[in-house]
Chain A
Amino acid sequence: MIKLFKLLLITLPFFCATTSFSDSVKLAVTTSFNNSGLSDILLPQIKSDTGLNIKLLVVGTGQAMRLGAAGDVDAILVHSPIAEENFIASGYGSHRREIMYNDYVIIGPRWDPANVRSSENVQEAFGSINRTSATFISRGDDSGTHKMELMLWKSSNFNPDDFGEWYKSVGSGMGASLNIGASLGAYILTDRASWLNFQNKSDLEILFQGDKLLFNQYSFIPINPIRHKHVKYKWTKKLENWLTSKTAEIMINSYKIDGQALFQFNAN
């Protein structure tokens, strides 16, 4: 018993958790962005080009904005234009810089009970799903993807509050939601990048794509230093410059999975 105590005492210093965060930038990004795998490619390059340590917090858009508003992160990278405008108007974000875009796709089971494959546009696709009461997974977490989904239902004149049991609001990130979709053989709206990088595709495949309403813009918003004095504004500026640079353009445009590009750089 004494032996154990002595061992603990000797090793105690090693167990003291350390924290050193001096020269790092806290960036909150959406699960869609992270699940694409792009951040794993970009971060090391950012480190070697700018010397910045990016601490990536992968959360939903709603939570990212909450963290930004509280000043707990230095910048956010999200994909929900209307919410972003509000964020800046409220004084939390200093400005909005578009970085890249991709598109949303409708994923569903191979056997396609709602015949989404033959839809002409996204309203028809959503209409078929509603009509056949096919199982549909909604992010339900106030994320950019969730907001897009709600907007699409609205544009088809549907109100999700009236939907029956087939409409499942799971309140989870992109990956978790896709997992549920895979195990239930359900329809789900997802961004292309998350889908391509998803490893549990099971019986799901892309059933609808291409409608211009499915355009998905990612933007970078630094937190307003007037609102939160402690944010590392100089470094977020550096990060912003890198994200809109030629290097970033090349890296983002050439990031492919199975020969398909996931994002299209569109910063100016």
Chain B
Amino acid sequence: MNDIWEGIVQALQLVYTLNPDLIEISVRSLKVTLSALALSAIIALPLAAVLAVKRFKFRRTIIALLNALMGLPPVVVGLLVYILLSRSGPFGVLDLLYTTTAMVIAQTIIITPLITSIAHQSLRELWSEYHDLLISMNTSHSQRIKTLLWDARRALLTASLAGFGRAIGEVGAIMVVGGNIDNATRVLTTAIALETSKGDFALALALGFVLILIAVVLNLGTHWLSKTESEGRW
């Protein structure tokens, strides 16, 4: 219990004094996760819309596959990406291993199925509501997708935040492809892992509390900016 209290105190100290190491790894954490989120959203949201709207042969298979991929252990994804980016691997010449880019790639792969799945659920529901109307109005596939994506934007935001949560707390994959290199690829979660392995539990907890704080602030900020709770707005 002492460690927890110490951790809280240390967390407050680190934040209050704007500790430069803390700021460096926090900014890097956000850079990596938000980049992954942006990339993921660009792939996942339109994909979810297409899956909701178009009828084609392998639709159900793809949806089942996506749901299954959500349960993929992140460290496995990390290993696969490592093998691909390794110098002995197919994309070795790109020299991406142990860079934040590799971490973004790994995290994008991890969260895309999650965001797609959750978004697809909401879009499917909305599509069943709009189905007759949009078909009656002779809309093209892309018009339908645009309409769905816009009208479901709050649910899509929730899906994206779920992806953010998964990514910001992830440590297995980015440890493998990033290497937790000091001043280069160290982020909050890998730093926590390192301090834990050194036995410095108080510092590890402190970093953990900072991570939680960042996630909470981001979530609150997003909801406030999009005025999710205000009356009568979709």
Residues of A within 8 A of B (CB): 1, 3-4, 7-8, 12, 14-19, 21, 26, 31, 35, 43, 55-58, 69-72, 172-176, 178-179, 182, 197-201, 228, 230
Contact of A35 among B38, B198, B225 (CB under 8 A): B198
Note all chain A residues with C-beta closer than 8 A to B201: 200
Known: A17-B101, A55-B184, A71-B87; 6 extra A-B contacts, CB below 8 A, are: A3-B226, A4-B226, A8-B38, A17-B31, A35-B198, A72-B97
With the chains together, A228 CA to B88 CA distance in Å? 9
With A56-B181, A71-B88, A228-B87 known as contacts, the answer to whether A18 contacts B100 (CB < 8 A) is yes
B200, A199: Cβ atoms under 8 Å?
A: yes
Note all chain B residues with C-beta closer than 8 A to A69: 88
| A-B residue pairs in contact (CB < 8 Å), sample of 30 | A1-B153, A1-B226, A1-B227, A4-B225, A7-B225, A12-B38, A14-B31, A15-B30, A16-B35, A17-B101, A19-B101, A21-B95, A21-B99, A31-B197, A35-B198, A43-B182, A55-B179, A55-B181, A55-B184, A58-B180, A58-B194, A70-B86, A70-B87, A70-B89, A71-B88, A72-B87, A172-B197, A175-B198, A199-B198, A201-B199
With the chains together, A224 CA to B132 CA distance in Å? 67
Residue of A nearest to B185 (CB): A55
Most buried by A among B87, B92, B101, B196: B87
With the chains together, A175 CA to B92 CA distance in Å? 31
User: Does B98 lie at the interface of the complex (its beta carbon under 8 Å from any beta carbon of A)?
Assistant: yes
Note all chain A residues with C-beta closer than 8 A to B126: none
The smallest beta-carbon distance between A234 and chain B, in angstroms, is 17
Contact of B199 among A3, A15, A178 (CB under 8 A): A178
What 10 pairs across the A-B complex have the smallest Cβ distances?
Answer: A200-B199, A175-B197, A19-B99, A71-B87, A199-B199, A17-B100, A70-B88, A57-B179, A4-B225, A176-B197
With the chains together, A253 CA to B106 CA distance in Å? 41
With the chains together, A198 CA to B198 CA distance in Å? 6
User: Does B118 lie at the interface of the complex (its beta carbon under 8 Å from any beta carbon of A)?
Assistant: no
Note all chain A residues with C-beta closer than 8 A to B181: 55-57
Note all chain A residues with C-beta closer than 8 A to B222: 4
With the chains together, A51 CA to B179 CA distance in Å? 22
Residue of A nearest to B224 (CB): A4
With A4-B225, A16-B35 known as contacts, the answer to whether A176 contacts B101 (CB < 8 A) is no
CB contacts under 8 Å to A, within B175-198, are: 179-182, 184, 194, 196-198
A17, B199: Cβ atoms under 8 Å?
A: no
User: Does B96 lie at the interface of the complex (its beta carbon under 8 Å from any beta carbon of A)?
Assistant: yes
Note all chain A residues with C-beta closer than 8 A to B227: 1
Note all chain A residues with C-beta closer than 8 A to B104: 17
User: Does B32 lie at the interface of the complex (its beta carbon under 8 Å from any beta carbon of A)?
Assistant: yes
Note all chain A residues with C-beta closer than 8 A to B215: none
Note all chain A residues with C-beta closer than 8 A to B34: 15
With the chains together, A224 CA to B38 CA distance in Å? 40
B197, A57: Cβ atoms under 8 Å?
A: no
Note all chain A residues with C-beta closer than 8 A to B194: 58
B96, A19: Cβ atoms under 8 Å?
A: yes
Note all chain B residues with C-beta closer than 8 A to A14: 31
The smallest beta-carbon distance between B226 and chain A, in angstroms, is 5
User: Does B103 lie at the interface of the complex (its beta carbon under 8 Å from any beta carbon of A)?
Assistant: yes
The smallest beta-carbon distance between A44 and chain B, in angstroms, is 11
The smallest beta-carbon distance between B181 and chain A, in angstroms, is 5
With the chains together, A175 CA to B204 CA distance in Å? 13
With A15-B31, A15-B34, A228-B87 known as contacts, the answer to whether A56 contacts B198 (CB < 8 A) is no
B38, A175: Cβ atoms under 8 Å?
A: no
With the chains together, A3 CA to B95 CA distance in Å? 38
The smallest beta-carbon distance between B231 and chain A, in angstroms, is 15
Residue of B nearest to A197 (CB): B198
The smallest beta-carbon distance between A140 and chain B, in angstroms, is 15
CB contacts under 8 Å to A, within B68-127, are: 86-89, 92, 95-101, 103-104
Note all chain B residues with C-beta closer than 8 A to A172: 197
